[in-house]
Chains A and B, each alone.
Chain A
Amino acid sequence: MEVDRKLLEHVAEVARIKLNDGEIKKFLPQLKEILEFFSKLKDINTDNVKPSFQPVELKNAMREDNEGQCLSQDDALSLTEHKKDAYFKGPKAV
């Protein structure tokens, strides 16, 4: 596995982060070192082992489909300055 500048820039783009030149120079060797260390997991035999997505056994937690209380429109809009006519305002979509 080759972790290079191109791959790092691609991963950053997927994660919606723009890295400047200094950050790329700093992060690249660090991430290489970390991923190389993590690769040692491949030494463990996990044939026929099921993954544990949770540490304790949990069954599906379903709730009744009942009406509940939710935030008022004013409250929901109270935490941002980007709003207009009772809507959240975002950047241009098209």
Chain B
Amino acid sequence: MESVHDFIKKVKNGEIDIVEHTYKLIEECKEINKEYNYLNTISEELALNSASEIKIQVKQNKNIKNKKLLGVAVSAKDAICVRDVETTAGSKILQSYRPLFDAFVIQRVKEEGAIIIGKTSQDEFGFGGFSVNVGKGFKIPKNPFDSERSCGGSSGGAAGLTQKLSSHIALGESTGGSIVEPASFCGVYGLCPTYGRVSRYGLIDFSNSMDKIGSMGKTIEDAALLMNVISGYDKKDSTSLNIKNDDYEKYLKKSVKGMKIGIIKEAFGAGVDREAENNVCPGIEELEEEGAKAEEISLELPIKYGIATYYMIAASEASTNLAKFCGMRYGAVEKLEGSFNEYFTKVRSNNFGDEAKRRIMLGTFARMAGYRDAFYLKAMKVRTLMINEYKKAFKKFDALISPTASILPPKFEDIEKLTPLQHYMIDIMTVSPNVAGLPHLNVPVGFEKNLPIGMLLIADHLQEGKLIQLGSAIEKGK
């Protein structure tokens, strides 16, 4: 496969006609979308205009020398604001919303010469792990290897498009595993950074103490390159970390000799599909052959209490964040009649989907007087214990390993049989690193019954480089 650096070189020296290339990619997107529904919006006009500008710049040899993504197609999860392009976060309540500004990450990729090709489909506001909880009137994306199965979620469209489209990198977003889990189901790399590493400015909030924008690519190199472009301090996000940038590409192909990896004991065995485990073990052996040392570690708290802690925090924050959607100023409207409260209630009841309503109610309940201490505050305290347990593990290990998903990508007919709680339980491997704000990476490690399997690597805060180093070693060994 052609590396993105080789592609950029060809764009710069005119070997690739970028307008023609982009036109073909857009046509490919349309064709893929007919069957798989990965894009809520294809931003054809924006993409072709950007390509024409680049073509002129290349001809004049102006402003192109140091562009890290010149001509590279980038998609954005639909929760990320792109100026003048419909941005809905997969919800009917935001249908026809065209932001007046670019999110920080969009501004960054545009500055580096990327071409925004569209907005990828997702669970409404990110509320799900299978991309089946799309908003009213939205289409469900399908697994690229079997269209009767889920592509994972909530960044499902991003993962599926990364697998299917010939050349492209994706901006995903994770609150509880929404980058790595769909990446695992679709057989691509998904890198979720440390909380605060990438600005959330222009991201439609789900749970503001856990939301993180990250990268997805066919190769670890693609994911590292995009992370290099989007990470860094932004004064417009008060939770953005004001620290020195790292160069993630320098970790590619770096030796893993002497690195210590902890295999999470509780993540293998009971409750985990044997088939999901099978391919993770050879991945670990691969790292050992390259000189890393693996040892088992017990992490009881994150595996046993992760789901309850995560959903309590996520629902509480979501219920406050979604309070702003009320049919005023932007987004869906209804006929103006009745009192303020009647109007807001009508807009919200008619336009939110079932899972959004469930989470709003869960979160509202958890924050109500009389229940707040037992639910919301308790979860915040358990989060402290969980972070401490991880920190202790990272004194000994460079990274922790588990399967990314506890099951193979399920069939839609089987998902329909799940209760909401059973649906939540599927996130067991991925919620805890998200609760603790730890960077994590999905590495595709093999196939079972023609469906991809992923390995989850978790590192300490700001140690994304180690994940790339380890992921790159596994990729090399394949």
Contact = CB atoms under 8 A, between A and B. Distances in A.
Interface of A: 1, 7-8, 11-12, 14-19, 23, 26-27, 30-31, 33-35, 37-42, 44, 46, 49-56, 58, 61, 63, 71, 75-76, 78-82, 88-93
B329 A80 contact: yes
B256 to A, nearest CB: 26
A88 B291 CA distance: 64
Interface residues of B, number: 74
Contacts of B63: none
B348 interface: yes
B154 interface: no
24 contacts: A8-B361, A15-B364, A16-B348, A17-B348, A19-B349, A30-B420, A38-B308, A39-B374, A41-B312, A44-B301, A50-B384, A51-B384, A52-B380, A52-B381, A54-B437, A55-B195, A55-B209, A55-B436, A58-B239, A61-B238, A79-B97, A80-B328, A82-B333, A92-B338
Contact of A55 (B210, B308, B311): B210
A40 B308 contact: yes
A4 B365 CA distance: 12
A11 B365 contact: yes
Interface string B322-338: 01001111110100111
Interface stretch (B339-347, B398-406, B464-472): B339-347
B201 to A, nearest CB: 12
B421 interface: yes
Q: Is the interface of A mostly helix, strand, loop or mixed?
A: loop
B110 interface: no
B309 interface: yes
Interface string B166-193: 0000000000000000000000000000
Contacts of A71: 100
Given A38-B312, A92-B338, 19 more contacts: A11-B365, A15-B348, A17-B357, A17-B360, A23-B354, A27-B357, A31-B358, A33-B419, A34-B311, A34-B424, A40-B305, A42-B378, A46-B378, A51-B381, A52-B387, A61-B238, A78-B100, A79-B100, A91-B342
Given A34-B362, A34-B421, A61-B239, A51 B380 contact: yes
A37 B362 CA distance: 13
A18 B379 CA distance: 28
Contacts of A92: 338-339
Interface of B: 97-98, 100, 194-196, 209-210, 235, 238-241, 301, 305, 307-309, 311-312, 319, 323, 326-331, 333, 336-346, 348-349, 352, 354, 357-358, 360-362, 364-365, 368, 371, 374-375, 377-385, 387, 419-421, 424, 435-438, 461
A15 to B, nearest CB: 4
Contacts of B368: 11, 14
B431 to A, nearest CB: 12
B345 to A, nearest CB: 5
B349 A41 contact: no
Given A14-B368, A15-B364, A31-B362, A79 B329 contact: yes
A12 B361 contact: yes
Nearest to A49: B381
Contacts of A55: 195, 209-210, 383, 387, 435-438
Contact of B437 (A51, A56, A89): A56
Contacts of A34: 311, 362, 420-421, 424
B374 to A, nearest CB: 7
Contacts of B461: 56
B94 to A, nearest CB: 10
A33 B336 contact: no
A56 B329 contact: no
Contacts of A91: 336-340, 342-343
B380 A41 contact: no
A10 B210 CA distance: 28
A56 B312 contact: no
A63 B379 CA distance: 31
Nearest to A59: B242
Contacts of B384: 46, 49-52
A51 B383 contact: yes
A38 B209 contact: no
